[in-house]
Chains A and B, each alone.
Chain A
Amino acid sequence: MNADESSLRSATSRAYYSVFGTARDRATTQGYVRLLDGSSSHKSLWTFFTASTVLQRRQFGLDGLRLHRQRLSADYDNPLPGPPAVAAQDAVTEATRMLGLVHTI
């Protein structure tokens, strides 16, 4: 793995965590408490949103689960399934979009 690929993987991962942290803070103000049922903190948070009856919140949760997969791929897949620059660009774009929505849900 070259330095450039490492940077791009890191960008994907950081993009995810920026959304995860902000969404968790938002969810906490709405009564979210992580269930200690063995599921990951990530799945637990996004399920909080997908379980909603409000379509916008459900969409936000689905997109969070998708971005989480991108982060797992960036952190663990070797080799990456696609061009790292494409994945990083997509993740940053998605994260930016979601950060713009998080306070409206």
Chain B
Amino acid sequence: MIQLPVYTSSSTVASWTSSHLRTREHRRSFRFDATQLASTISREPVFRSEPSSAALCVVSEGELALIDLFFDSADLVDTRRYVQGHPWVFELLIESVAHVSRVFGPQSRVTLELVSDPSAPADEELFALIPCSLGGQVGRELLRNLDTSWWLNASTRSHNDLIFDIKLG
């Protein structure tokens, strides 16, 4: 277990990550305490929740590395492109790590999947799919727990560009 530093903002996290996790072996052996991570990040969060102001913000390569670190992606290139274009999604994804871990367990590794409706191809949404092997009913109850304890309020910052759901199977 690597002792995480105390973060003051997500850019600090990104800086720490890029300087400490340069090798694949290091990344592979990296085990994080998600609760610790999120609580330290949220001490001084950098909110980029308004599309108008967020257009001025940039998601750095270091920050994108965090997304790669904490999430699987159905299509890495598409996910990176989308997160870069939606900085408020980045903030919410980082926030989600601790909340998902708390509700679904520390082993829950979320998969990011870009979904678009063929009838409106420009209408893309990033789905964060939480694996659930306990069945649909239990999975939906856990998801409802995540909603009521965090996502229902946090989602107002997502502009429906990010949606959490369970992945059955």
Question: Which A positions have Cβ atoms within 8 angstroms of B?
Answer: 38-40, 42-43, 46-47, 50, 55, 58-59, 62, 65-66, 68-69, 72, 76, 81-83, 86-87, 89-90, 93-94
CB distance from A29 to the nearest CB of B (A): 22
Contacts of B117 in A (CB 8 A): 40, 42-43, 68, 72
Question: Which B positions have Cβ atoms within 8 angstroms of A?
Answer: 115, 117-120, 122-123, 125, 127, 136-137, 140, 147, 151-152, 155-156, 160, 163, 165, 167-169
Instruction: Please pick, from A43, A87, A94, the residue contacting B160 in the complex, using a CB distance under 8 A.
Output: A43
CB distance from A38 to the nearest CB of B (A): 6
Contacts of A90 in B (CB 8 A): 136, 140, 168
Q: Are A69 and B168 in contact (CB under 8 A)?
A: no
Q: Are A47 and B136 in contact (CB under 8 A)?
A: no
Distance in angstroms between the alpha carbons of A59 and B136 in the assembled complex: 18
Q: Are B155 and A58 in contact (CB under 8 A)?
A: yes
Instruction: Please pick, from B120, B127, B156, the residue contacting A69 in the complex, using a CB distance under 8 A.
Output: B127
Contacts of B155 in A (CB 8 A): 50, 58, 62
CB distance from A49 to the nearest CB of B (A): 10
Contacts of B123 in A (CB 8 A): 38-40, 43
Q: Are A62 and B163 in contact (CB under 8 A)?
A: yes
Q: Are A69 and B167 in contact (CB under 8 A)?
A: no
Distance in angstroms between the alpha carbons of A38 and B125 in the assembled complex: 14
Contacts of B156 in A (CB 8 A): 58
Contacts of A82 in B (CB 8 A): 167-169
Contacts of A81 in B (CB 8 A): 167, 169
Contacts A38-B122, A90-B136 given: A69-B169 contact, CB under 8 Å? no
Closest residue on chain B to residue A80 by CB atoms: B169
Instruction: Please pick, from A43, A66, A76, A93, the residue contacting B137 in the complex, using a CB distance under 8 A.
Output: A93
Q: Are B160 and A65 in contact (CB under 8 A)?
A: yes
CB distance from A104 to the nearest CB of B (A): 16
Distance in angstroms between the alpha carbons of A86 and B155 in the assembled complex: 27
Contacts A93-B136, A93-B137, A94-B140 given: A40-B119 contact, CB under 8 Å? yes
